[in-house]
A = this chain, B = another copy of it.
């Protein structure tokens, strides 16, 4: 059985915390991680503050297999991710020759001045390697287990597509969803017993509230199909039981 591979995400940017920009990258990373068998264990959204970024990075990079960051790698004064990552790793942050050449050639081809602001996008921690950016050239970078990517969703997604094939993927969680017409208050008791009887699964219960009525999505997750199927069978039996009780009480 493959190892369990874990990840954390750090979203960097005052604009998310102020509500100006609504994050669209967390859900995308979560979907991709689940699809390839990496457990996303934690997400932190932090402000454009070097101390906060360094503290968050150092808290998660030792703990999880991979760390992914978004935001703060553009050419303006509030883009401080490269410097913060360098500080977290205790290495200098400087212009990267390959990035300077790449960006220089791209701006030259378009007849655009390669000014100091644009050159900021070529700065990265010593020892970092590029993450290609097919959308707008300026690369992200990887250092240790940390992958630093753009915050603009189309660029983040393109960079992540380039990162995914380089990742060690783990034992994929298999899941099964059982829709349930009862609210959580109805299934909570028996479901807890089923969870106890199936310790090799994670059984989640997600309340939905629509038009004044509660219903629930029950989700079984496990590393093997057998474990999922076994718990699902018990859940379906529980729901059939509730249906029978409901019917009997309607007839009574």
Docked CA distance A191–B117 (Å): 10
Verify if A188 is at the interface (C-beta below 8 Å from B): yes
Q: Give the segment of A16-24, A88-96, A223-231 that binds chain B.
A: A16-24
A152 close to B189 (CB less than 8 A): no
CA distance A206 to B22 in the complex (A): 12
Return chain B residues, CB-CB under 8 Å to A23.
Answer: 26-27
Let me know if A178 is at the binding interface, CB within 8 A: no
A86 interface residue per 8 A CB criterion: no
Let me know if A62 is at the binding interface, CB within 8 A. Answer: no
B42 touches A47 (CB 8 A): yes
In the assembled complex, 8 residue pairs joining A and B whose CB atoms fall closer than 8 Å, in A order, are A18-B30, A19-B27, A19-B31, A21-B206, A75-B185, A76-B184, A77-B203, A117-B185
A154 at the interface (CB under 8 A from B): yes
Q: Which of B15, B33, B151 sits near A19, CB closer than 8 Å?
A: B33
Q: Which residues of B contact A41 (CB under 8 A)?
A: 17, 47, 52
A209, B154: Cβ atoms under 8 Å?
yes
Could you tell me if B16 and A30 are in contact, using CB atoms closer than 8 angstroms? yes
Inter-subunit contact A15/B188 (CB<8 Å): no
Q: How far is the CA of A175 from the CA of B133 in the complex (A)?
A: 32
Give per-residue flags for A14-58: 1 if the beta carbon is below 8 A from chain B beta carbons, else 0.
111111111100110011111000011111111110001000000
The secondary structure that dominates the A interface is: mixed
Interface contact A214-B17, CB-CB below 8 Å: no
Provide the A177-205 mask, 1 if CB < 8 A to any CB of B, else 0.
00000001111110110011000001111
Q: Which residues of B contact A22 (CB under 8 A)?
A: 27
Q: Is the CB of A184 within 8 A of B43?
A: no
A104 at the B interface (CB under 8 A):
no
Alpha-carbon separation in the docked complex, A117 to B188 (Å): 5
Question: Which residue of B19, B43, B76, B195 contacts A188 across the interface (Cβ within 8 Å)?
Answer: B76
Cα(A22)–Cα(B32), bound, Å: 13
Contact digits for A202-219, partner B, Cβ 8 Å, 1 yes 0 no: 111111110000100001
Cα–Cα, bound, A115→B191 (Å): 13
Which among A23, A77, A219 has the highest number of chain B CB atoms within 10 Å?
A77
In the complex, A125 has a CB within 8 A of chain B = no
Cβ of A136 < 8 Å from any Cβ of B?
yes
